[in-house]
Amino acid sequence: MPRPDRFRKAVVEMLKEAGRPLHYTEIGRRLKEGGLWERVKEPEKIAKVRLAALARWHHSPVVALGKGLYALREGGGTSPEP
């Protein structure tokens, strides 16, 4: 499994390319299809845990919007409303 910084960079790039919030199941599926998680058996479960931890970090570029959706933080502030 890749290091957390590689995960964070991959998720940020994925969200930028998508231009919209993504559900954790879609993020996990895309990471597996993209080869970053080729050996992970349950990418959706791992993505859920890692994204939740990433979104709790106050310097995170990713925010949780609820119902499993994650998006990029707007404006570069450290504590926006999701």
Q: Is residue 40 in some structural domain?
A: yes
pLDDT of residue 81: 43
Answer whether residue 77 is part of any domain. no
What pLDDT sits at residue 2?
56
pLDDT at 34 over 60: yes
pLDDT score recorded for residue 44? 94
Judged against a pLDDT cut of 90, whether residue 76 lies above it is answered with no
Q: Provide the CB-side half-sphere exposure for 18 (13 A, CA).
A: 17
What rounded mean pLDDT belongs to the chain? 87
Place of tokens 């999701």: 82
Q: Number of structural domains, the chain? A: 1
Q: How far apart, in whole angstroms, are the C-alpha atoms of residue 21 and residue 74?
A: 12
Distance (Å, whole) CA 43 – CA 24: 9
With respect to residue 61, please indicate whether it lies within any of the assigned structural domains.
Answer: yes
Q: Is 40 exposed, middle or buried (0-12, 13-18, 19+ CB in 10 A)?
A: middle
Q: Is the pLDDT confidence value at 54 over 70?
A: yes
Q: What is the pTM of this model?
A: 0.82
